[in-house]
Amino acid sequence: SQELEQSPQSLIVQEGKNLTINCTSSKTLYGLYWYKQKYGEGLIFLMMLQKGGEEKSHEKITAKLDEKKQQSSLHITASQPSHAGIYLCGADDTGFQKLVFGTGTRLLVSP
């Protein structure tokens, strides 16, 4: 089945700095989802990317999908303490009828 690898595993950035989180798939991506999780809580949907080259933005968060590279990136501009949490990418494990997730990237934003 499909596996997703995220990098970096953890990240500490100073408030106001930009950052990028990557998600690489072991198989062709047919849909890529980004979620945010506050520690010990459920997942909040951020964005869904379905087509190669697609790019979506929500407030200061932008995600891109590179189908050829089987990769997606999540970019945060001018980070704020409210951006802190765990970011997870998920993909439809086509044929296995389930959504698989990466291991997550823990983000801390220092004031």
Q: Which stretch binds another protein (CB under 8 A): 15-23, 29-37, 59-67, 75-83?
A: 29-37
- By C-beta, is 77 or 94 nearer to another protein? 94
Per CB under 8 A, 8 contacts another protein:
no
- By C-beta, is 71 or 77 nearer to another protein? 71
Handedness of CA 54, 37, 85, 79 (dihedral sign): positive
Phi-psi region of 16 (alpha: psi -120 to 50; beta: other; left: phi over 0): left
Please report which helix (H) or strand (E) contains residue 110, including its range. Answer: strand 105-110
Per CB under 8 A, 67 contacts another protein:
no
Q: Could you say which DSSP state residue 82 is in?
A: G
Q: How far is the CB of 96 from another protein (least distance, A)?
A: 7
SS3 category, 83: helix
Among 24, 29, 35, 107, binds another protein (CB under 8 A): 35
- By C-beta, is 20 or 103 nearer to another protein? 103
- Other CB atoms closer than 10 Å to residue 107's CB: what's the count? 21
- Residues listed for the chain: 111
Binding site for another protein (CB under 8 A): 30-31, 33, 35, 40-45, 48, 88, 90, 92, 94, 96-104
